[in-house]
Each structure stands twice: as structure tokens, then as C-alpha cells.
Amino acid sequence: MHWRIGLVGFGNVGKAFVSLYREFREIWNKRFGLTSDFVFILNSRGGIFDEKGISDEALNEALSSKEGLTSLKGWRKGLKFEDLIDSANINLLVEVSPTNIKNGEPALSYIKSALSKGIHVVTGNKGPFLYNFRELFDLAKEKKCFLGIGCTAGAALPSINFGLGSLSGSRIDRIEGVLNGVCNFILTSMEEKGISFEEALKIAQEMGIAETDPSLDIDGWDTASKILIIANYLMDSSLTLKDIQVKGIRGISQKEILDAKKIGKRLKLAGVAVRDGERVKAEVKLIEVGENHFLFDLRGTNKGILYVTYPAGEFFVKGGASSPTGAGYSIWRDIINFQFKLQ
């Protein structure tokens, strides 16, 4: 399959996505028959476009230059998705612009527009799925398009992939995940170093793990978005962000951490989804886990997810530490898995 890719978003993840293709293209071509052209690349201010495929030289320049796209000869300020989607003749939209948890825009419109024209979509953007999950998957089904969202639910941590390929045909009754590396780093640091929430957050910010505005992470919304997407995908629910009770870790006291430690336990911020008859309930909360719990040994920025299933049994997956490379890889993973099914 030859992919003509339109890429929206050229931050760290978008760059890693392009860079990985250049590193692995010979292997993937040989192994999967996968080849690609990048037809357009857009950021929030404009972009580049070449119907014949953006040249290797231009891609190299864009990847290595500090200014990114704007330094390129072909840079067109104000170039917009709407200008290209009908004429650029792409067969795959890769959408990796930042998440907007309020209404998913502008990514939501981009994805709808692409799917409605029969263009496959792979995205790392959670926003569009927080209120419109079923609508988007129904549209993809109607248009016989692939809609790959593995990256949205933990990046390289294969939360959705594991549920699909490793638990095929099994009923998933419960999912518990430590899905946010920042929160786990803060909780681990507070316990190990005996420091306060504020101190641990500051360290995370200085290390570049946490954002200047860490609200999405520490107030639990990132975890909520991920457990929503995982539950909707793997447990056939139709949750929206409003259906999820969310408690974060902002301002958690040292006493709470140390009280747990005294009795050999640890606090974890977990996204939990549970099958309850025909319904699925999801929430984000602090859970106290003992040393026999699957999540007990997840330290620092590590993520992990537990699946309680029938008849396959219980499984725990950990790994996929947060990184642009991991996120960029997870976009390719979706593409490769889709391509495998096509063959």
C-alpha cells in the first residue's frame, strides 16, 4: 500500500513521526510493502504542500531546523487544511495537533471532513473522542475508513492494541490503568523523597516532564480522557467526558502518602472502567494498592494497565515510557496494523 499522507501538527510528535519513517522505511517496505509520501504538513500557522510528495531534502531541513516548517522554501503562511483536503489527493490524514478537551476542535472537524471523503485517519489527539467517539467511529464504518487512535490512549503503551490482538474474543470486565506519567512521577517522588506535592511538581516541571500549566495531568483529565477512549474502544461503551467522575492529585498531602506507606501500601492515580451489566462505569481516582497489586511496582513516569477478562484471565502490561518517539511510533503501529489486515 502506498500512503499519500497529509500531516497536521508538526510539534515533537509530528517530527518523530516523519523522522521514524525516514529511519525505518526500507525495513517497512521490505517487510510490509509500506511506502509513503508526505503530501502536506501543516502547523497552526501554515504549512508546506507538494502534490508529488515533499522532497527528502525539504523533510530533512524541516526536521533539523529550529524554525521547522517556516524556514523552508515552500513555506506558505496561512495555508489551511480546508485549502488542501479536496485537492491534495491524500489517502491518509495523520492528525497530531495538541488536544483540546473542551470541544475537540479544530481536529474534530478535520477528522470528520477526512472520513466523510473516504480518507483514512490516524490520530494522537484525544479531544475529538471525548464527546464524539461513537459518531466518529460510525462515520468511519459507513465510509469504510480506518480510524486509528492507539496513540491517544497511552502513546507507545499498547492499551488498545493489547485489548484487540492479545485478548481477541475475550470479554473485558475491568480495566485499571496508571495512564499518566506526570502524576505517577509526583506520587513516587513524594513517597521516595518525603517531599511535598508542590516540590514534586516543581521537579517534574524542571525536568520537562510536566507542563507549565499542569492542570490536564494533575487534575486527572488526561487520565480520564484515556480511560474513556480505552473503555469505549474495548468495552463497547459510549462514554463522554461528562460521564466520568474525576479526582486528581492536586494538593495531595504528604501525610496521605506516608500513612499508606506505613502499612506497606502506595497511592496510585488510576483510570478505572468496570462492566456493570449492560453499562460500563468509569472514573479517575486515587487507589491504595498493596504489594500484590499489579500497579504497586509502577515507579516514576512508568505507565501500566491491568485487564481483568474472561476467559483469557488477568493481564498486566507496563512500559511505553512517555516520549515523542514512542508517540510517533504508535502512529506507525496503527498504520502497519491496518495495512497488515489489508493484505
Nearer Cβ to its own copies (167/287): 167
Residues 143 and 146: their CA atoms lie apart, in Å, by 9
Nearer Cβ to its own copies (109/170): 170
Residue window 26-65: x/- pattern of binding to its own copies, with contact defined by CB under 8 A: -xx--xx---------------------------------
Q: Is 315 in the site for its own copies (CB under 8 A)?
A: yes
Q: Are 268 and 287 in contact (CB under 8 A)?
A: yes
Tell the smallest beta-carbon distance from residue 170 to its own copies (Å): 7
Q: Is 333 in the site for its own copies (CB under 8 A)?
A: yes
Residues 247 and 284: their CA atoms lie apart, in Å, by 6
Q: Is 320 in the site for its own copies (CB under 8 A)?
A: yes
Q: Are 79 and 68 in contact (CB under 8 A)?
A: no
Q: Which of 169, 208, 264, 277 binds its own copies (CB under 8 A)?
A: 169
Q: Is 161 in the site for its own copies (CB under 8 A)?
A: yes
Residues that contact its own copies, how many (by CB under 8 A): 51
Q: Is 20 in the site for its own copies (CB under 8 A)?
A: yes
Q: Is 325 in the site for its own copies (CB under 8 A)?
A: yes
Q: Are 174 and 275 in contact (CB under 8 A)?
A: yes
Query: What is the DSSP-derived secondary structure letter of residue 69?
Result: G
Q: Which helix (H) or strand (E) holds 226?
A: helix 221-234
φ and ψ at 42, to 5 degrees?
-120, 145
Q: What b/e sequence results for 172-194 when a residue is b if at least 16 CB atoms lie within 10 Å of its CB, and e otherwise? A: bbebbbbbbbbbbbbbbbbbeee
Q: Is 337 in the site for its own copies (CB under 8 A)?
A: yes
Q: Is 243 in the site for its own copies (CB under 8 A)?
A: no
Residues 154 and 178: their CA atoms lie apart, in Å, by 10
Cis bond leading into 214, ω under 30°?
Answer: no
Q: Which of 1, 63, 167, 287 binds its own copies (CB under 8 A)?
A: 167
Give the closest residue to 25 by CA, choosing from 40, 14, 36.
Answer: 36
Burial class (CB in 10 A: 0-12, 13-18, 19+), 305: buried
Q: Which of 131, 162, 185, 233 binds its own copies (CB under 8 A)?
A: 162
Q: 61: how many CB neighbours lie within 10 A of its CB?
A: 16
Q: Is 277 in the site for its own copies (CB under 8 A)?
A: no
30 given a catalytic annotation: no
Q: Is 331 in the site for its own copies (CB under 8 A)?
A: no
Q: Of 126, 226, 268, 303, which residue is the catalytic one?
A: 226
Nearer Cβ to its own copies (40/329): 329
Q: Is 166 in the site for its own copies (CB under 8 A)?
A: yes
Query: Any idea which residues carry the catalytic annotation?
Result: 226
Applying CB under 8 A, which residues contact its own copies? 20, 23-24, 27-28, 31-32, 156-158, 161-162, 164-171, 291-292, 294, 296-297, 299, 307, 311-321, 323, 325-326, 328-330, 332-333, 336-337, 340-341, 343
